[in-house]
Structure 1
Amino acid sequence: MASTQPMPPAAPTQSSAGALHRTPLQRALRAFAGSRLAMLGLIALAAIVALAIAAPWIAPQNPYDLMQLDIMDGQLPPGSTAATGMTYWLGTDEQGRDMLSAILYGLRISLLVGFVSAIAAAAIGTTLGLVAAYSGGRTDNAIMRIVDLQLSFPTILVALMILAFLGKGVGNVILALVIVEWAVYARTARASALVQRRKEYVEAALSYGSSGLRVLFRHLLPNCLPPLMVIATVQVARAIALEATLSFLGLGVPVTEPSLGLLIANGYQFMLSGKFWISFYPGIALLVTVVAINLIGDRLRDVLNPRNAD
């Protein structure tokens, strides 16, 4: 009977060897780029942000400069040409504002509110969550009871109450959204930090005399970032949608600084008369923005999930 010899282990291929030498960031970027929907969302969001930033230079008119408006051009359908020779590709609203220009300017306010409120809420909530996990005891109980109380109320109801007290304004909307969003970050940061707090590298850092702030932001925070990044991405889209809802209800931004939500609200009363474009096109812009951000967030959730790590 012929003896069988064990086969020698196969030499690693060039692609597998390259994969072994990739950093975690490189693997995450490669995994993110592997999703066509995520890349489509990223491209769409980049285009939207670029259009919003460039609005003062590329918009056909400044829709909030009264000197450029003509009430005689009010409620013109898409594709109409005014007496001045200007073509309104998306039509005009009741004040004669070019809807394309109004959408480009409205994107600036919606994106500003979404990103600033999400970043501020993330900073506050993450810090409090890390402090709660690190300190424990009464500090932890006090912070988490406030978090539980905050999360027990409907988000839109709390935001409406705050704005009813503070009044309209971009700054007030951002403040209201920060107040209703920070608790989600605090709970997530605390849960992630509690896991890391019991690990040996944290105990070693404490034994070497590292300060509490250094342990919090040098050791705990980097290991808590993946879930927080996913939440932050989703919260940006949520903040934009919430701002649009608040503006639609008349408690958001003022008419002098309209966002997409206020543009939708302005055209709602004309829907039944057939002038759909006043609300329809801002609604499409809002939908594309929110969907693009959510596509990015969904892919980040899969990429940064430790269970899916190589």
Structure 2
Amino acid sequence: MNTHVSQGQVEAVLVQTPLRRFARAFSQSRLAMLGLVLFTVIALAALFAPLLAPQNPYDLMQLDIMDGRLPPGSRSATGMVYWLGTDDQGRDMLSGILYGLRISLLVGVCSALVAAAIGTTLGLFAAYAGGRIESALMRLVDLQLSFPTILVALMILSFLGKGVFNVILALVIVEWATYARTARASALRERRKEYIEAAICHGASPLRILFGHLLPNCMPPLMVIVTIQVGRAIALEATLSFLGLGVPVTEPSLGLLIANGYQYMLSGKFWISFYPGLALLATVVSINLIGDQLRDVLNPRKRS
């Protein structure tokens, strides 16, 4: 009987075992799985919005002002059924939500990833360099975190103006400090360990130490923060758009859809704001459920 096992097979087993344990631990939470399924459905709906949406809500040739503010379930003169009603411009609310999810997810994911890249790099560099460089960077982080996030974002957008790129840039500026502080705290614990000293003694370059040794061991808390910050960025974008300083009216988002129906709430046209708000709530809650379970799985104190 041949019992020979190649080195590649051994490495594959060693890699797959932590992944299987992680998947098993993550799947133990029903709320986390519910959040994962819900977010997957939302992400796929946003990705395939042009195929799923009954109309392009921002194509003026497909809109009819006479269909404005129709209640859910109404039928247009052309026979189209507005399952979630229409807004004041005659846009189908279901189509608006599907297209709005694309912008909201784009802003949330891009801002979180860019802020994570910048903040993590600065945090790792501060922990590795130490001294005055670390002190200066941490004082900058403390200054950033001392101001209310929404206030700083409003000030930046009032200067830059509306636009998806400007919103992403504003959110990156207000979010990078959180990653920098977390990365620095994690890197300080790893910096004193023997494998870092051994890498330095063997002449490893600073970039090799930062991104080859420190970063992989600092990833668990950073992954949790990225997950939660995506939901937070989506909520912030919705707030900024609701206040009129987010995305322009030609680029839909959930916050802008909510703002469009706010003035009609007292007149009984609740669906214009209610359904986009429900979609926003479902998106943020699903992301937070994933982040909460991810935090528990990656927390070494809770591992069996």
Partner Cα separation in structure 2 for residue 82 and residue 300 of structure 1: 46
Counterpart of 2:210 in 1: which secondary structure? helix
2:28 aligned with 1:31, yes or no?
Answer: no
Which residue in the other structure is 1:68 paired with?
62
For each residue in 1:273-308, what CA deviation from the matched residue of structure 2 results, as whole angstroms up to 9, or x when unmatched? 100000000000000000000000000110000111
Counterpart residue identity of residue 64, structure 1: Y
Match of 2:76 among 73, 82, 103: 82
Which residue in the other structure is 1:124 paired with?
118
2:157 aligned with 1:163, yes or no?
Answer: yes
Partner Cα separation in structure 2 for residue 71 and residue 265 of structure 1: 19
Which residue in the other structure is 2:247 paired with?
253
Which residue in the other structure is 2:10 paired with?
none
Which is higher, the Rg of structure 1 or of structure 2? 1
Which residue in the other structure is 1:7 paired with?
none
2:271 aligned with 1:277, yes or no?
Answer: yes
Counterpart residue identity of residue 242, structure 2: F
Partner Cα separation in structure 2 for residue 268 and residue 37 of structure 1: 32
Distance 1:163 1:205, change over 3 A: same
Counterpart of 2:265 in 1: which secondary structure? coil
Partner Cα separation in structure 2 for residue 180 and residue 275 of structure 1: 35
Partner Cα separation in structure 1 for residue 194 and residue 19 of structure 2: 24
Distance 1:21 1:113, change over 3 A: closer
For each residue in 1:39-77, what CA deviation from the matched residue of structure 2 results, as whole angstroms up to 9, or x when unmatched? 000000000000000001110000000000000000000
2:139 aligned with 1:145, yes or no?
Answer: yes
Which residue in the other structure is 2:190 paired with?
196
Distance 1:95 1:22, change over 3 A: closer
Which residue in the other structure is 1:115 paired with?
109
Partner Cα separation in structure 1 for residue 138 and residue 76 of structure 2: 59
Counterpart residue identity of residue 84, structure 1: T
Partner Cα separation in structure 2 for residue 210 and residue 75 of structure 1: 65
Which residue in the other structure is 1:57 paired with?
51
Which residue in the other structure is 1:225 paired with?
219
For each residue in 1:78-120, what CA deviation from the matched residue of structure 2 results, as whole angstroms up to 9, or x when unmatched? 0000110000000000000000000000000000000000000
Partner Cα separation in structure 1 for residue 163 and residue 120 of structure 2: 26
Counterpart of 1:23 in 2: which secondary structure? helix
Partner Cα separation in structure 2 for residue 229 and residue 179 of structure 1: 19
TM-score, with structure 1 as normaliser: 0.93
2:258 aligned with 1:293, yes or no?
Answer: no
**Deviation (angstroms), 1:24:** 2.7
- Equivalent pairs, count: 291
Counterpart residue identity of residue 268, structure 1: Y
Distance 1:103 1:126, change over 3 A: same
**Deviation (angstroms), 1:258:** 1.6
Partner Cα separation in structure 2 for residue 104 and residue 222 of structure 1: 36
Counterpart residue identity of residue 82, structure 2: Y
Partner Cα separation in structure 1 for residue 119 and residue 142 of structure 2: 13
- In structure 1, list runs of 5 or more residues that go unmatched: 1-19
Counterpart residue identity of residue 132, structure 1: A
**Deviation (angstroms), 1:23:** 2.8
Counterpart residue identity of residue 40, structure 2: A
Counterpart residue identity of residue 174, structure 2: V
Counterpart residue identity of residue 209, structure 1: G
Return the structure number with greater helix share. 2
**Deviation (angstroms), 1:263:** 0.2
Counterpart residue identity of residue 294, structure 1: N
**Deviation (angstroms), 1:28:** 1.6
Which residue in the other structure is 2:299 paired with?
305
**Deviation (angstroms), 1:27:** 1.4
TM-score, with structure 2 as normaliser: 0.94
2:208 aligned with 1:214, yes or no?
Answer: yes
